[in-house]
Amino acid sequence: MRQIALLYNPQKAEACSVRNDVTEQLERAGIGVIDVSVNHDTDIMASHAQVKTAELAIVLGGDGTLLGVARQLAPHRIPLLGINVGHLGFLTESEPSQLEPAIRRIVAGDYHLEERLMLEALVYRDLKEVAKFTALNDAGIGKGSFARMVTLDVHVDDVYVDTYTGDGVIISTPTGSTAYSLSCGGPIVSPHLQVMLITPVCPHTLFSRPCVIDASSVVRLTVHARHRDVALAVDGQEGVWLQEGDEVLIRQAPYDATLVRWPDREFFDVLRNKLHNDPSSGV
């Protein structure tokens, strides 16, 4: 391996400290480092075009930083290794305390690549496309800050499913099944499955339940709300305000996110330890 991109969140003091350690160890191993600071509005490729030449990207931050980087680098098929300097760090693969063995594994090629399904969300207003996003975790339509309900007609492959009235609806990937969807009663789904989840948020009925559909399906959500306090949120980081009659199409993105994974680290071990908040697990 000749060149690695090192992306870090400059707002996290620990990320800046770990960045120096990572750079030193990679350069000692003869690997070139492309240094990139990122925040919520950084256009990585516009400001650091050389990232395209990286064979791998190390991301220093929490899940939020990794999600933002994944949306930008996934189209370029650059594998991502997350080192957690955030809170939960569910998507990251290593901790700062495990930095040296992590770098040794990268240099030795002791890892495998895991493809994670992504979503594409398109917003149509008066039959015209007005916004387009990609998501690694989820795309959700919900109410804003005011306590008003949202009504959404949901179709899958042009077949009517149901009309949900409540706080909104989340469409998530298997990766996102342990995020917002889980908090709303959705199932935990193995990240290797090619499926999407439809999870109602606080539905105003006892009969609305989450469901799992094939990843090749197209979900169409039609907004019914007399107020303007309705929005589409993507990975909880990007989004757009919606209007009465807007349609949102959500489908599988044309590319996956590629994550670096250790061969001896199992999904259900991570799940158990992270969700039980066991800091001593080392997972």
Backbone angles phi, psi at 91, to 5 degrees: -90, -15
- Burial class (CB within 10 angstroms; exposed 0-12, middle 13-18, buried 19+) of 253: buried
Known binder of ligand: residue 94? no
User: Does the annotation place 179 within a ligand binding site?
Assistant: yes
180 annotated as belonging to a binding site for a ligand: yes
| 3-class SS string, 146-197 | CCCCEEEEEEECCEEEEEEEECEEEEECCHHHHCHHHHCCCCCCCCCCCEEE
> Which amino acid does the sequence have at 96?
P
Q: Is 41 marked as binding a ligand?
A: no
Q: What is the CA radius of gyration of the chain?
A: 20
DSSP code at position 225: -
Is 126 within any annotated ligand binding site?
no
Q: Which residue among the candidates 21, 43, 63, 278 is catalytic per the annotation? A: 63
67 is an annotated ligand-binding site residue: no
The annotation status of 86 as a binding-site residue, yes or no, is: no
**Which of 235, 227, 215 is closest to 72 using CA atoms?**
235
User: Is 63 annotated as belonging to a binding site?
Assistant: yes
148 has binding-site annotation: yes
Identify the helix (H) or strand (E) that includes residue 75.
Answer: none
Question: Per the annotation, does 237 bind a ligand?
Answer: yes
Query: Does the annotation flag 214 for ligand binding?
Result: no
- Dist. CA 251–CA 134, nearest whole Å: 10
Cα distance between residue 138 and residue 179, in whole Å: 8
C-alpha to C-alpha distance for 69 and 43, rounded to whole angstroms:
10
Q: CA-to-CA distance for 81 and 155, rounded, in angstroms?
A: 36
Q: Is 137 annotated as a binding residue?
A: yes
The answer to whether 183 is annotated as binding is yes
Q: How far is CA 2 from the centre of its chain?
A: 28
Question: What distance separates the 2 farthest-apart alpha carbons in the chain?
Answer: 61
Residue 246 annotated to the active site: no
- Spatial distance between the Cα atoms of 140 and 231, rounded to a whole number of angstroms: 8
* Residues flagged as binding site for NAD(+): 63-64, 137-138, 148, 167, 178-183, 237
Write out the catalytic residue numbers.
63
* Residues flagged as binding site: 63-64, 137-138, 148, 167, 178-183, 237
